[in-house]
Amino acid sequence: MRKRLVLIIALSFALMAVIATVGCANTGIIENAAGVQRLEDEPQKTVVIWHTYSDEETRLFEQEVIPEFEREYPGIHIESVRQSSNEEYQAALIARASAGKPPDVIRLDYSWVPRFADRGLLYPLNRFSDFEDVAMQLRDHMLETNRYGGSFYGLPLNINTKAAIYNRTLLEEAGFDAPPSSMREVVDAARKHRYIIGMAELNLWSSLPYFFGLGGRLADEHFTRTEGYFNSDESVQAIETLVSLYRDGVINPHLLTGNGDLWTGVHSGRKLFMIDEGPWYYSILLNTKILKVDLLKATQAAPFPSGGVYGSIIGGESLVLTKGSRYKEEAWTFIRWMMRKETQSVMFKAGLIPTNMEAFQEYEIGRTDNVYIDAFMKGVEDAFYRPPLPQWNEIERIYEGAMEDIFVGGRNIRETLDEASSKIDALLANK
């Protein structure tokens, strides 16, 4: 037994000596190590992108844009994952990015970028050496919405705004040769002819253009305070007008319930004078086989009728790179590709307005088949940009809560706006 124990110990020392010798020689146990594939030597790297494209947008993205990119960069595979844009989507993205899980690239509502950056979930794109070359091609104001704390955490992929979409028959019956240029004209025509104005909901995205159109104000130019703006006499009067119009049945009677089909009503009804929507109204319906009307003859789009500083509200998405991505260089290559004039021109076919200024200006000299897009392109010029604030979601909720208190709860308008302004300014003071 003792001899066996000695033998085992001797063999162990011999094995340790062999291992030490191999280690000192800086070689592997596998003789032909160069011929063995390592993790970092993957022949093709997969970049995962999550997005909220519509059906037609997804078709163009997956059948035209991605294949062309992969032909240009065969070592990079793009995995496209379509999602629904809502609060749950934002929460899921935050959870996955916090855990360092895919996606690598996100097509993100530009107003969400500061919140993700503030949480340390995004990689600053200006760290890439050719960032400036890419950024200088893009719309300045939209680019600035991606700046946070001195760095750029996204690049603007597309821009949109909501236009006024009129029932063409009712427009002509009301005596208009061209769409109204002010919200007051819209209101007067609707009251006179017993038409309906299709404001869809009370949330900020849906109601702010009407609030602005009637002279309401939200904040100072740089969005540093709302005191004296959101609770100003002009704002109180604007909301008093909206409440009066709703009670008189001029504003969408389904405003508080969310019922009713505004999309169909404005092209096929006899009461709905105007709604406001983005270019997707046309890009979706014109690609729907069951549509029974000639949409472009039944409706007329025009920039949202202004009565104040702003027309409508700017929407749009940016591409961001998650901090935990394994393939940052490959992801940046794809983001850079999406900013090209040629790529954005492809997506423009679905009504996504380019942020690449060369592609945008090419439209302006008449090279587009999207006859409806003119109203949206013009509307971009005087629309309201949501400020790059991490607290923007909370600000929207305060705004919507105030509108619900007024329209549903019947609260005093001035008191409600004073209270809401105070809450928003407290958030801004702690930004």
Distance CA 402, CA 422 (A): 12
Closest CA to 312 of 283, 277, 281: 277
Q: Is 42 left (phi over 0), alpha (psi -120 to 50) or beta?
A: beta
* Residue 2, pLDDT score: 39
Closest CA to 161 of 396, 358, 378, 369: 378
* Residue 365, pLDDT score: 54
Q: Which segments of the chain have a pLDDT < 50?
A: 1-39
* Residue 368, pLDDT score: 56
* Residue 366, pLDDT score: 54
* Residue 19, pLDDT score: 36
* Residue 362, pLDDT score: 85
Domains of the chain: 44-160+314-382 (3.40.190.10), 163-310+391-429 (3.40.190.10)
For the stretch 35-80, pLDDT in tens is 344 445 567 999 999 999 999 999 999 999 999 999 999 999 999 9
Distance CA 176, CA 130 (A): 51
Distance CA 147, CA 344 (A): 21
Closest CA to 59 of 45, 78, 80: 80
* Residue 283, pLDDT score: 87
* Residue 309, pLDDT score: 81
What DSSP designation does 383 have? Answer: P
